[in-house]
Amino acid sequence: MYDPKQFHDTTFIDDEEILSTLKDAKELVEDKEYVRSLLDKARTCKGLTHREAAVLLEITDPKLEEELFHLAKEIKEKIYGKRIVLFAPLYLSNYCINRCEYCGFHKDNTVMLRKKLTMEELDEEVEAILALGHKRIAIESGEDPVETPLDYIIKCIERIYKYKNSKDESIRRINVNIAATTVEEYERLKAADVGTYILFQETFHRPTYAKMHTVGPKSNYDWHTTALHRAQQGGLDDVGTGVLYGLYNYKYEMVGQLMLAEHMEEMFGVGPHTISVPRLRMAEGVDLNSFPYLLTDEEFLRLIAVIRIATPYTGMILSTRETPETRKKALELGISQVSAASCTGIGGYHKDIAHGSCDDTAQFKVSDERTPEEILTWLCEDGYIPSYCTACYREGRTGDRFMYLAKSGEIKNICQPNALLTLKEYLVGYASEDLKELGEKVIEKEIEKIADEKTKELTKKQLKQIEEGVQDLYF
């Protein structure tokens, strides 16, 4: 609900500054020594400004690009190690009063089957998601003050947290991706114990934003662009942002994305907890041929590498919009969280636990339809540690407290054992014999990398407890 009295100053997204940044970047990239100086600066893991990052995005020299990709991988592994966090989106409703030209939910899509979950259907969805091994979800919904007011969203959150399956398992953390709202409503979300509040900007380019959002509350650029500021004011100190790449020039969008992060850092002492990098995909009623700014895979991977270098301590999220091949490459360059076995429609998980056939109500078409078993096998085979950890949220390690631990290097002493414990939980409860064997080898190898001997021994003890049936152990 728009409130003209609340913060909506978007002067920090300055079109002239972005254009000037991009113009200067094209010239500065020709100076290879300057480019290498930026890479050296980034190697300290203190990040880059939007102007500096824009230069790296212009790299075309194969040798420099190789150095860029190598550095992105180096920084990602230095901070996050080999951990990859897994989650599932849960769509509550596709009713929407906005007309977003790229989204299957838009109000004028007459072929879309409209649906919202009842509380009983919500239970079925949670049951099916738990059966996939997930413990962290991101709830999604179209914007409709009649069908899905905040009261409905909060009722769903409360219902999800209370639900337990026959194994006494439950969802441990709910992140939320819903429409921009007021400080007061963000305070209500905080009171409902949500984790990260996520809101995609879609595009920072005002003319494109106006073209893409012609009807509905989302058409207000200023209100939407400052929503994360109000969320912080409402007590939600873990916020996530992202751009829908393909709506406008990706270089312009990345600079705008970093300017938003810089402004939040300036205002609140901490920038976004996560940055998502979704690309425009097919959806019911959406013709990709009408979008001239679609990225190539090469451009997309370079973009991921630059964002990782520019914002080293920010989690980066990649959805099932991308193919398995692209997701594999992206993980090496900076991605730290991925969705798995996603359904982007309403009520699809309980119909088909393996894949979730929900195309009739889907927001967009997924490109990676692998099961959790297949996802975890892939990650383990490639040397990653699949993690279902939610400990930081529940221990209050959020916002500036999380960033302090991350920047000091201490967070790895918590994240490494927690990742191994949650992987063990999955192996015991859900994995095939082949995956169990593979996963145990990963645990055996990675536990020796825990530097603190006391933590290492306690982790070994807790792994044994999980094997004996104990659940939800964490540091």
Which among 294, 290, 345 has a CA at the least distance from the CA of 105? 345
Mean pLDDT throughout 69-82?
94
- What pLDDT does residue 353 have? 41
- What pLDDT does residue 354 have? 38
The CA distance from 343 to 349, in Å, is 7
Ranges 81-95, 386-400, 403-417: which has the least confidence: 403-417
Ranges 11-20, 54-63, 80-89, 386-395: which has the least confidence: 386-395
Q: Is the pLDDT of residue 391 over 90?
A: no
- What pLDDT does residue 355 have? 40
- What pLDDT does residue 395 have? 83
Q: Is the pLDDT of residue 20 over 80?
A: yes
Ranges 29-38, 101-110, 122-131, 457-466: which has the least confidence: 101-110
Cβ within 8 Å of residue 37, ≥6 positions away: none
| pLDDT tens, residue by residue, 138-172 | 999 999 999 999 999 999 999 999 999 999 999 99
| pLDDT tens, residue by residue, 449-474 | 998 899 999 999 999 999 999 999 98
| pLDDT tens, residue by residue, 272-285 | 999 999 999 887 77
Q: Is the pLDDT of residue 290 over 60?
A: yes
- What pLDDT does residue 361 have? 64
- In one-letter notation, the amino acid at residue 341 is A
- What pLDDT does residue 284 have? 76
- What pLDDT does residue 111 have? 85
| pLDDT tens, residue by residue, 407-438 | 877 777 789 999 999 999 999 999 999 999 99
Q: Is the pLDDT of residue 341 over 50?
A: yes
- What pLDDT does residue 351 have? 65
Q: Which residue has the tokens 């399956």?
A: 165
> What is the C-alpha R_g of the chain?
21
- What pLDDT does residue 393 have? 84
Q: Is the pLDDT of residue 359 over 60?
A: no
**Secondary structure of the chain as H, E, C letters:** CCCCCCCCCCCCCCHHHHHHHHHHHHHHCCCHHHHHHHHHHHCCCCCCCHHHHHHHHCCCCHHHHHHHHHHHHHHHHHHHCCEEEEEEEEEEECCCCCCECCCCCCCCCCCCCCCECCHHHHHHHHHHHHHCCCCEEEEEECCCCCCCCHHHHHHHHHHHHHCCCCCCCCCCEEEEECCCCCHHHHHHHHHCCCCCEECCCECCCHHHHHHHECCCHHHCHHHHHCHHHHHHHCCCCCEEEEECECCCCHHHHHHHHHHHHHHHHHHHCCCCCEEECCECCCECCECHHHCCCCCCHHHHHHHHHHHHHHCCCCEEEECCCCCHHHHHHHHHHCCCEEECCCCCCECCCCCCCCCCCCHHHCCCCCCCCCCHHHHHHHHHHCCCEEECCCHHHHCCCCHHHHHHHHHHCCCHHHHHHHHHHHHHHHHHHCCCHHHHHHHHHHHHHHHCCCCCHHHHHHHHHHHHHHHCCCCCCCC
- What pLDDT does residue 407 have? 80
Ranges 78-82, 163-167, 397-401: which has the least confidence: 397-401
- What pLDDT does residue 365 have? 75
Does the pTM exceed 0.85? yes
- What pLDDT does residue 110 have? 86
Q: Is the pLDDT of residue 442 over 90?
A: yes
Rounded percentage of the chain residues whose pLDDT exceeds 70: 97
- What pLDDT does residue 25 have? 98
For residues 262 and 310, the answer to whether their CB atoms sit within 8 Å is: no
Q: Work out the pLDDT band at 356, boundaries 50, 70, 90.
A: very low
